[in-house]
Amino acid sequence: MIHIRRAGELDTGAMAALLNELINIGDTTAFTNQVTRETLTRWLAFHPEDSAWNVAEDDSGNLLGFQSIQPRNNLPPESCDIGTFVKPQSTGLGIGSKLFEASRKAAAQLGYHWINATIRTDNMAGLAYYQSRGFEDYAHHTAERLDNGMIVDKVSKRFKL
């Protein structure tokens, strides 16, 4: 069974390991540099009053995925940005759906009007995930340089609350 709960500092090691696994795969995230537990601890502590971080775990407490909503400087104050990370071997089990339900509720409680997701256009699973949640395209970004120098196109999608 999948359980969703708020993330805490004790989760950051497992969250970093999951994100690093996705970074190593290469086409499912815009992150290109490995992260540490300390990195995730800083992210978790950034704007705690305007953010929500949730983790998905199995009955044994193993991390299956995590999702965050938080403000971004490049977005208007009535919107938040979302990031979703699910273990590759755990996709298709409803983890993303359960995480999004928790994040959608948190975004509404925090007073946001819409949620932004910006996805690499070569991330087919990510594009399908957000499309299936009801996100709609509103901006396209061509030739964006990632931290490793790679050039990718991205699309920004919006979910109205």
pLDDT band at 117 (very low <50, low <70, confident <90, very high): very high
Quote the pLDDT of residue 90: 73
Task: Render pLDDT for 20-79 as a digit per residue (tens, 0 to 9).
Answer: 999 988 767 778 789 999 999 999 998 889 999 999 999 999 999 999 999 999 999 999
How many structural domains are present in the chain? 1
> Domain limits at 128?
3-160
Structure tokens at 114: 């819409």
Q: Compute the distance between CA of residue 52 and CA of residue 68 in angstroms, rounded to an integer.
A: 6
Q: What DSSP state is assigned to residue 141?
A: E
Task: Render pLDDT for 76-112 as a digit per residue (tens, 0 to 9).
Answer: 999 999 999 999 877 777 999 999 999 999 999 999 9
pLDDT band at 7 (very low <50, low <70, confident <90, very high): very high
Quote the pLDDT of residue 146: 85
Q: Is 23 helix (H, G, I), strand (E, B) or coil?
A: helix
> Element (H or E) spanning 3, and its range?
strand 3-6
Quote the pLDDT of residue 69: 98
Q: Compute the distance between CA of residue 56 and CA of residue 91 in angstroms, rounded to an integer.
A: 12
Average pLDDT rounded to a whole number, residues 134-153 = 92
- We report the CATH number of the domain holding residue 14 as 3.40.630.30
Q: Compute the distance between CA of residue 105 and CA of residue 52 in angstroms, rounded to an integer.
A: 10
